[in-house]
A and B are shown apart, each in its own frame.
Chain A
Amino acid sequence: MEFLIIILSGVLFATAIYNLLQKQLLRIIIGTILLSHGAHLIILTMGKLKTGQPPVLTEGISQYTDPLPQALILTSIVISFGITGLLLVLAYRTTEENNTDNMEQLRGKSNE
């Protein structure tokens, strides 16, 4: 099962990077989202997917799934959400200022 998830995150990485290499701002942001999904899944898989109970202490159960990766992923989800939100607004403002969302045309100023 773990290998399946790892392959899945490989596919997510591949599609994410393909998106990142596009010209459109929006696609680049989609790429970053896919990338963070892939990373989260990898973190989860590294904590072993052995079936156990959810990490909430309950009477009579001794086998739980690993809680540490879950805490890490939770932190990561929030951070990537913050970044995505910022990127989106940035994309919006960039497009508004420059009248284009084509990355090939957004090359900074010539004298820089």
Chain B
Amino acid sequence: MIYAVFAPLLFAILVPWISKHKDRIHTGIFVFFIPFIIFLYFIQFVGADFSPIRETYNWVPSLNMNFDFYLDGLSLLFVLLISGIGSLVVLYSVFYLEKSERLGHFYVFLLMFMAAMLGVVLSDNVFVLYAFWELTSISSFLLIGYWNFKERSRYGALKSMLITVFGGLSLLGGFVLLTVITGTTSIQGMIEQVDVILASKYLPLILTFILLGAFTKSAQFPFHIWLPDAMEAPTPVSAYLHSATMVKAGIFLVARFSPIFAGYEGFFISVSLVGIVTLCWGSYMAVRQTDLKGILAFSTISQLGMIMAMLGFGTEAAVFAAVFHILNHATFKGSLFMVAGIIDHETGTRDIRKLGGLITLMPMTATLAVFATFSMAGVPLPFLNGFYSKELFFDATIDLEGAAWLSQAIPYLAVLGSIFTFVYSMYFFFGVFTGPKQLEQLPKKPHEAPFGMLISPIILVLGVILIGIFPEMVNAPFLQHAAESVNKNVEYHKVYFWHGFNTPLMMSLTVVGAGIILFVTRRKWDKVYHVLPGKLSFNRVYNFIVEKMDTYSAAITNTYMTGSLRTYMVLILGATLIVTAGYMFLTDGFTINVGNLAEVTVLEVAVVITIIIGAIATLFMRNNIAAILVTGIVGYGVATLFVIYRAPDIALTQLVVETVSIALFLLCFYHLPNLQKREEAPKTKLTNFFISAGFGLLITLVGISAHSSDWFDSISSYFVENSYKLGGGDNIVNVILVDFRGLDTLFEIAVLGIAALAVVALIKMKKKKGAE
């Protein structure tokens, strides 16, 4: 199985070489064989006696991250959809994309996506699943932005990226929580520990995280907004990613995890509610669109909502219907996108207001469209698979348990959503293929598509019809297993076209009846869209968030990144002050111990007072030369203190250094132009005063408590004893400097040397003015 997952990636490496010869032979022809072989490989597993297969390949065994592939009915359904529709889409793209396009890029992205998608549905390891999940987001981003010279493409790609990656990250959070709770990274292992998970207090959080991932990926309300903008991608991409595969990744995820969450009422409420709201909103909005792909995008959203709702119900009937509809939706929606692509390709526009009456010009396409749209609408005809799944859907909505308010409302909402589905399906078909011809408005003269382009939609529509006529063909050997992996209790369920006069049939007839009325009178009521959504568009919310995020983060940064060093100093010192003082206060850290002090002499007090006066005087000196000299007084005062405290070496050094420093200062002063004192605003002065006074006080307090807490003796007795014995010198300080701790001195010399070099460099290496 690992070869099946990685084959597309490996082949993608070869694509650039192949695409060099694209003038002679279309790159897609080679690419076609990859999904086709994968499809053939997996089709062997289809059969009534299928049982799950597990394979493990080590990746990071120490973190329990391995390529654990698990093929059960659900994975098999998705794998066959991905590879099967993948083959058809590649075939279609051979005829859709001109050889002048950057085919190499296109097929590399597409193969990347295919591998990622296969990885998502086959992984049993949550972290591997997540890795492939993000790879689908990235490759989808690349494919949406394929025509990157278009502004709309870039906008759509960015939007889908932001939304799906947001969901992906929360999915990761859910996975991490699940792993921590169950101690395993395997999904099947988690399903075995379902009791542990259901008993966990993090259950609502896990569910939220995982559902956020699934809802963003599957374009559920209100995260659906990226899907219509993703229609800027080339049509094969829309057909593949945004109808059949990637948007079903979220569905897959919910289905995969429903054995865990199905026993939890929050799951039923959230998934069903979001699903049913998405169904209604998507179908309602689809009627409003004028772009063919726009209609299909909202239709996809609505159909995904329907599948999601059924998974939320979680009853046996609903799960089977969901699985059935996944397959059906992939067939008719894939073919509809291809039909839209053909119309775009042959007429030059996708605007439904400009199209009309194409049925005589493009009879083949029209035939395909009639089957696909009627199947999408769920028209009760025995050769359309859409009808069966819609009927099963209605059947599933009737007897729901749990959350009474929701269970009661769901059947009505389901009918409402389906009515609009009917309306936009009819609008799609009749708007394009019937009515007056408006040939003068079209950029190209329309004619039937080349046969190659029609192959893929024909196969898909054949699928629609065959499943419609013989639903049992896919049911027992295939879908039954898929449904079992979602809900073990699903029993074998026969699908009939005619199952008597019962409630689902009445619901279907209501849909058709009301749908026809609404479709015919569409012009009269479509003003309602000015009221709802009107200004209530989620795109506005998205744009608002993205825009304001930019402006506000810029504004916040600008408030403190002013470029003024003083502001930064105030911020740094203020924060340090608050944190340190607060910590001292909170931990009761201040101690004072007067027992161990030396006595005070008059001389010391006099010197200290002199220094204090000098230090304070530096602040008030208006004349700079006076300020420098007062600083000198402080320095010499400190040297005197060193003398008093019997530190001859530092006293000496201090004296010399102070003298040289003052000399340097005066030199500097001599060269600095008009150094008048600059007055500050009183408010600034006050801040400065508080910060500096606070800091001085803090240092005093810290110093006093540090001095008062006596934890251990000094190690200096060692230096005193061994200075002569080991170092051979009487002057202990000097022996420490050059012998015991000679390394300090070495680097201190280095510091001085570097400073000297820098001074020379600064003075000598003057750039000429304007030579920047």
B612 and chain A: residue at smallest CB distance: A11
Min CB gap A28→B, angstroms:
8
Residue in A40, A44, A91, A108 whose CB lies within 8 Å of B563: A108
Tell me if A85 and B664 are in contact (CB < 8 A): yes
Q: Is B290 an interface residue (CB 8 A)?
A: no
A93 to B761 CA separation, bound complex (whole angstroms): 11
A108 to B417 CA separation, bound complex (whole angstroms): 61
Which B residues lie within 8 Å of A99 (CB)?
A: 673
Residue in B597, B654, B695 whose CB lies within 8 Å of A3: B597
A63 to B667 CA separation, bound complex (whole angstroms): 44
A25 and chain B: residue at smallest CB distance: B672
A38 to B707 CA separation, bound complex (whole angstroms): 15
A91 to B730 CA separation, bound complex (whole angstroms): 42
Min CB gap B513→A, angstroms:
67
Stretch of B40-48, B230-238, B712-720 contacting A (4+ beta carbons < 8 Å): B712-720
Q: Is B627 an interface residue (CB 8 A)?
A: yes
Stretch of B318-326, B484-492, B598-606 contacting A (4+ beta carbons < 8 Å): B598-606
A16 to B453 CA separation, bound complex (whole angstroms): 81
Q: Is B10 an interface residue (CB 8 A)?
A: no
Which of A5, A7, A24, A71 has the most B CB atoms < 10 Å from its CB? Answer: A71
User: Which B646-681 residues sit within 8 Å CB-CB of chain A?
Assistant: 646-650, 653-654, 657, 660-661, 664-665, 667-669, 671-673, 675, 677-678, 680
Min CB gap A99→B, angstroms:
7
Min CB gap A83→B, angstroms:
7
> How would you classify the secondary structure of chain B's contact residues: helix, strand, loop or mixed?
helix
A71 to B611 CA separation, bound complex (whole angstroms): 23
Min CB gap B539→A, angstroms:
34
Tell me if B693 and A77 are in contact (CB < 8 A): no
Min CB gap B483→A, angstroms:
62
Which A residues lie within 8 Å of B680 (CB)?
A: 22-23
Instruction: Flag A78-112 by CB within 8 Å of B: 1 or 0 each.
Output: 11011111101111110110010111101110000
Residue in A67, A78, A88 whose CB lies within 8 Å of B657: A78
Residue in B627, B646, B699, B752 whose CB lies within 8 Å of A65: B646
Residue in A8, A57, A64, A68 whose CB lies within 8 Å of B612: A8
Tell me if A1 and B599 are in contact (CB < 8 A): yes
Tell me if B737 and A3 are in contact (CB < 8 A): no
User: Which B701-759 residues sit within 8 Å CB-CB of chain A?
Assistant: 703-704, 706-707, 714-716, 719-720, 723-724, 730-733, 736-737, 741, 744-745, 748, 751-752, 754-756, 758-759
Q: Is B546 an interface residue (CB 8 A)?
A: no
Which B residues lie within 8 Å of A51 (CB)?
A: 598, 646
A64 to B384 CA separation, bound complex (whole angstroms): 104
Task: Tell whether A68 pairs with B669 under 8 Å between CB atoms, given A34-B618, A74-B650.
Answer: no
A5 to B737 CA separation, bound complex (whole angstroms): 25
Tell me if B673 and A57 are in contact (CB < 8 A): no
Min CB gap A86→B, angstroms:
5
Which B residues lie within 8 Å of A13 (CB)?
A: 692, 695-696, 699
Tell me if B566 and A77 are in contact (CB < 8 A): no
Which of B695, B715, B724 has the most A CB atoms < 10 Å from its CB? Answer: B695
Min CB gap B765→A, angstroms:
10
Tell me if A78 and B653 are in contact (CB < 8 A): yes
Interface residues on B, range: 35 or more
Tell me if A66 and B716 are in contact (CB < 8 A): yes
Interface residues on A, range: 35 or more
A108 to B562 CA separation, bound complex (whole angstroms): 10
Task: Tell whether A18 pairs with B646 under 8 Å between CB atoms, given A56-B731, A66-B716.
Answer: no
Tell me if B638 and A40 are in contact (CB < 8 A): yes
Instruction: Flag A44-70 by CB within 8 Å of B: 1 or 0 each.
Output: 111111111111111000001111101
Min CB gap B734→A, angstroms:
8
Tell me if B573 and A77 are in contact (CB < 8 A): no
Tell me if B703 and A26 are in contact (CB < 8 A): no
Which B residues lie within 8 Å of A44 (CB)?
A: 641-642, 645, 647
Which A residues lie within 8 Å of B569 (CB)?
A: 20-21
Residue in A6, A33, A89 whose CB lies within 8 Å of B635: A33
Q: Is B438 an interface residue (CB 8 A)?
A: no
Q: Is B584 an interface residue (CB 8 A)?
A: no
Task: Tell whether A102 pairs with B645 under 8 Å between CB atoms, given A5-B608, A19-B619, A93-B763.
Answer: no
A82 to B657 CA separation, bound complex (whole angstroms): 10
Residue in A50, A54, A79, A96 whose CB lies within 8 Å of B598: A50
Task: Tell whether A74 pairs with B732 under 8 Å between CB atoms, given A30-B631, A34-B634.
Answer: no
Q: With A18-B692, A30-B627 given, can you name 13 additional A-B contacts, CB distance below 8 Å?
A: A1-B601, A3-B707, A10-B696, A10-B703, A15-B616, A24-B678, A54-B647, A57-B724, A65-B647, A84-B661, A86-B758, A95-B673, A107-B562
29 CB-based A-B contacts, threshold 8 Å: A1-B599, A2-B707, A3-B707, A4-B600, A10-B696, A11-B615, A21-B570, A24-B675, A26-B628, A27-B618, A30-B627, A30-B628, A30-B631, A45-B703, A46-B703, A48-B596, A52-B646, A55-B647, A56-B730, A57-B731, A65-B646, A78-B748, A81-B661, A89-B758, A91-B672, A92-B671, A101-B673, A104-B564, A108-B563
Which 10 pairs of residues, A with B, have the shortest CB-CB distance? A14-B696, A10-B700, A107-B563, A82-B755, A6-B703, A17-B692, A18-B692, A67-B732, A55-B732, A71-B736
